[in-house]
Amino acid sequence: MNEVTILTRLRHRNLVSLYGCTSRRCRELLLVYEYIPNGTLSCHLHGEIGIVVYSSMADKNQDSHRTASALAYLHACDTIHRDVKTNNILLENDCCVKVADFGLSRLFPNDVTHVSTAPQGTPGYVDPEYYHCYQLTNKSDVYSFGVVLIELISSLPAVDITRGKDEINLADLAMNKIQNSAFKELVDPCLGFESDSEVRRMIVSVAELAFQCLQRDKELRPSMDEVLQILRRIESGEEEDNHVEEVEIHGGVNGISCSGPIFPSSPPSPDSDESILLKTTKSLPPATKARHS
């Protein structure tokens, strides 16, 4: 019923379409969606079930742009997806993106600061501030999308227990690599980072955007609409190129600092998914973007 309530309000070319559902009197409650034939983004990135992997960074960037467009639309419609991940990004035969699975989604009125609710989502993608504070905001989707961006440039899974304990979560691995100037260790070597300057420009720009999305303090993250605008500039080549010169083939992105976790000392601990809507009493500070020295 949650999915029906949300999806009947929405129409976007990069959201999976709900065609209908069975009535409440039926023995089985079923939702009928459009058929998306070409698997999930996760399958394409990680080579599951024999699906061919992406052939270029340009294709990956185009799909990240389309996904961001869908999420920005959701936020404009007062909806938080709450389970953004590569398994919920479906691909059509022409590789057009369709964001799916709204079972955990929540309506989010524009006159509230957050919804207090028990954390839900997929390990590796869950906003750490939401996890610790029980406060869901649209910036929680931004964090999850940041993990998706890192998956796109690294081709690594969001969670891998065979990695070191500080790098099991891909978000932690990415932040460590960027901060320690080990950028090359993060990038999928098949993308041509060392040999193609245009690919390098796109990867560096996407990594910088992901770095902003993965800030632990939600106020330091951009909005989804800002993310979409940045991805459009990256795709068109209109963003400033001077930062590309600062990246060494064997180094990282210089001049970026990372904020540590900022959590209240006593977060609420609701035992249900009932929302508590807190009215906005003052304007929130704008998102602070990472800058280059």
Top-confidence residue, 277 or 47: 47
Question: Is residue 97 pLDDT above 60, yes or no?
Answer: yes
Question: Is residue 96 pLDDT above 60, yes or no?
Answer: yes
- Give the residue-averaged pLDDT of 107-133: 84
- Give the residue-averaged pLDDT of 107-130: 83
Question: What is the model's pLDDT at position 252?
Answer: 38
Question: Is residue 253 pLDDT above 80, yes or no?
Answer: no
Question: pLDDT band at residue 49, thresholds of 50, 70 and 90?
Answer: low
Task: Report the chain's mean pLDDT, rounded to a whole number.
Answer: 80
Question: Is residue 135 pLDDT above 50, yes or no?
Answer: yes
Indicate which residue of 83, 127, 141, 188 is catalytic.
83
* Domains of the chain from N-terminus onward: 2-264 (1.10.510.10)
Question: Residue 83 catalytic?
Answer: yes
Question: Is residue 257 pLDDT above 80, yes or no?
Answer: no
Question: Is residue 60 pLDDT above 80, yes or no?
Answer: yes
Separation of alpha carbons 249 and 208, rounded Å: 16
- Give the residue-averaged pLDDT of 243-267: 36
For 67-85, write each residue's pLDDT tens digit. 999 999 999 999 999 999 9
